[in-house]
Amino acid sequence: MLISACDPTIVPPPRTADHYFKEGENFFDQHRYEDAVASWKKVRDSYYSPELNKLAELKIAEAQYLSDNYEEAAASYSAFIKEHPRDERLADALYFQGMSYYKQMLSKDRDQTATVNALQTFRSLIRNYPKDERLEEVGVLIQRTRNRLAEHEVYVGRFYLRTENYQAAVNRLKGI
């Protein structure tokens, strides 16, 4: 016991942002997305390197998206878009933010907030990047979101008809 008490304590050298970033990459390659996010958050929150921080923010959002954590992915992409409005990867961030909302869409009888957010994000992508290579796919996704919103309005309109609230039914169905 005395011998172990006399051993000098070995303090590991401080780790760099580059170390944590590479660690996150390794976790990501192994599909250990939560561990990758934790490593990249250390880069983002603890160190100052503008380009590495931006890249870490994007990688965090990508890992959240790939792990089906669409709510957090949408929030991460949104934060990236707000913080870096002139970044060359903004079209990708918009696309995956829209996809994050799209993957959260609920059935016609449920809240359609995610559907509205997906539609707005995809429209923003088309408006700001009219030459993006994903425009055809985004056009299809926009049509699907619009169809879901129309299904929701019909569902609500039918409810108002069943409850004999005819003016509310007309107002709902008129928009379609």
CB half-sphere exposure, 164, CA atoms < 13 A:
0
**105-144: pLDDT as tens digits:** 999 999 999 999 999 999 999 999 999 999 999 999 999 9
Angle at 29 between CA 23 and CA 30, to 5 degrees: 95
d(CA 153, CA 146): 11
d(CA 119, CA 145): 6
Angle at 149 between CA 146 and CA 152, to 5 degrees: 150
* The residue type at 132: D
**18-42: pLDDT as tens digits:** 889 999 999 999 999 999 999 999 9
b/e per residue 16-53 (b: at least 16 CB within 10 A): ebeebbebbeebbeeebbebbbbbbebbbeebeeeebb
Please give the average per-residue pLDDT across 153-169, as a whole number: 94
